Structure 1
Amino acid sequence: MTKQQMIYDQVVPVSKERHGSLGVDTSFGYEFARGVRTVPIVAAEIPQAAREYAVVFAPTGNGNDVAPMAILSVREGEDLHLSNDGEWTARYIPAFLRRYPFVFANAGTANNFTLCIDESWGGCNRDGSGENLFDENGERTEFLNQLVQFNQDFQRSSQMTELFCSQLRELDLLDAKQAKLTSPEGTETRLTGFFIVDREKLKTLPGDKLEKLSRNGMLELLYAHLLSLHNLGVSTKSTQNLVTANS
């Protein structure tokens, strides 16, 4: 699950000196995401994402931390939600993709972030087309202000998602799984390296802990996640079998 970070190639801080004449073509589409099989989502996105994608929890590479991920395809070379001309065909587009080519980069201290842009994106231009980041006086345009706000909201949601996932670990609700999917032609695909909420552990939580999950909205997210697992095989018409990771 590494491709999602590879959509960013030439990332630099946004500045009026460097990007005063830069235009951003917002109609350029999502060709940059071709070949992306999984994408991070924040906790608040789970109910919407769960309608169309399988939502699982995957290691972040930072100790035992995990994060929710939407599975976009189960086999290499599949782009189930991307048309030939780069248009996203699913109804819900994860915020991680919607914010591209912009991203917040940590400026070296906690809660201090700098807005950056991937200059390698084909939608960047200096021919006067698209949305400008700065006006003729070097001031931020409304478009840029909206981008900053969107990324600030995304960053706050990411921090809340970390707390959400830490509570799942504290309650010992996550179980390592594999998925074996068999296509109508008999081809088998195996997905590994992810976690799902254990239904039995969830059902046997003490009443006070279940009540807390219900009151803070987490219980709704957990059931949406569990329901989303049906989507593993729906798009490819594959039959699926979830098994423990050591099976």
Structure 2
Amino acid sequence: MASAPQAANLPLFYKDLMPLNSRDHATWKSRTTDNATWMVGQHAVPLTVEEFVHASRFFPIVFSASEQPVPLALMGLNEGVNTFVDDTGKMLQPIYIPAYARRYPFMLAKLTPETEDLSLCFDPTTDLVGEFDEGQALFENGEPTDACKATLDFCRNFEEAGFRTQSFVDEVTKLGLLMDGEVSIQQAGFEQPFIYRGFKMIDQEKLRDLRGDQLRTMNQSGMLALIFAHLFSLDHMSEVFARQIQQGKGPISPDQLPAA
């Protein structure tokens, strides 16, 4: 999930990336906020496998329809809709916030395409890092503070979780368990159901057809629990749709719009 700090390849949320260093940012501080403005209008947020159980209590978990599928927490069923934050980024209820969103505005990134080394970078367009009177200092006497080290550790742990997540996706793909997803939601007052496509999900028929030794291996590795967390989470599809309607953000007509 690491990305080179180039404008053309910036990951979700990030408008720019700049390496953090003690020379240019010696007096800079980081601060927290109750308003996650970067999540406004973001309907799908990447997840790591470690988060499946926690996230499944609040959101549908699906997989992107890309060549290399990525697990996603759906916070809205239509692009540009996040039903869990208001227009200022304030959470509308206590929820589990994916680590991908919690690490912003920091991330580990390659400074050049040629290197494999990752450096701690941040989005310089944010108001969460800068020369503030308040906040936690990032450097002291030219050395990273405990707060800076904690941020670095969090980003490193996220990258490691990203590798484990990719291994999980690779395995379910190899087993042929991912299929094109489709959800049909019947809304009162509409003759036709709303159809959502554009994502992938686990094929339950193929899961049931796996050999006993394959299922046993998946159970022992913890993969089976992750798959069931994903499948159980799909029950939230109708709940998220209802939140969209309640907030006046629902689709006007039952067009076949992508969920991810």
Q: Which band: TM-score by shorter chain?
A: 0.7 to 0.9
2:38 to 15, 32, 51: 32
Contact 2:46–2:100 (Cα < 8 Å) also in 1? yes
Q: Give the TM-score taking structure 2 as reference length.
A: 0.82
Instruction: In structure 1, list runs of 5 or more residues that go unmatched.
Output: none
Answer 1 or 2: which has greater strand percent: 1
Aligned-residue RMSD, C-alpha: 2.4
1:182 is displaced (CA, Å) by 4.1
Matched, 1:165 2:160: no
Contact 1:22–1:128 (Cα < 8 Å) also in 2? no
* CA 1:169–1:156: 2 relative to 1, 3 Å: same
**What is aligned with 1:47?**
53
1:232 is displaced (CA, Å) by 1.0
**What is aligned with 1:57?**
63
Matched, 1:112 2:141: no
* CA 1:39–1:228: 2 relative to 1, 3 Å: same
Instruction: In structure 2, list runs of 5 or more residues that go unmatched.
Output: 1-9, 246-255
Matched, 1:69 2:72: yes
Q: What per-residue deviation string (whole Å, max 9, x for no partner) do you get for residues 7-32 of structure 1?
A: 10121011111211222221253011
The number of residues matched between the two structures is: 234
Instruction: Output the CA distance in 2 between the equivalents of 1:191 and 1:25.
Output: 38
Matched, 1:95 2:99: yes
Q: What per-residue deviation string (whole Å, max 9, x for no partner) do you get for residues 146-201 of structure 1?
A: 01100110000100111101100111111112233344453965432211101111
Q: What per-residue deviation string (whole Å, max 9, x for no partner) do you get for residues 71-103 of structure 1?
A: 110134533111354223342000000000001
Identity %: 27
Contact 2:42–2:80 (Cα < 8 Å) also in 1? no
1:221 is displaced (CA, Å) by 0.4
Contact 1:52–1:90 (Cα < 8 Å) also in 2? no
> SS of the residue aligned with 1:201?
helix
* CA 1:103–1:185: 2 relative to 1, 3 Å: farther
Q: Give the TM-score taking structure 1 as reference length.
A: 0.86
* CA 1:19–1:181: 2 relative to 1, 3 Å: farther
**What is aligned with 2:218?**
213
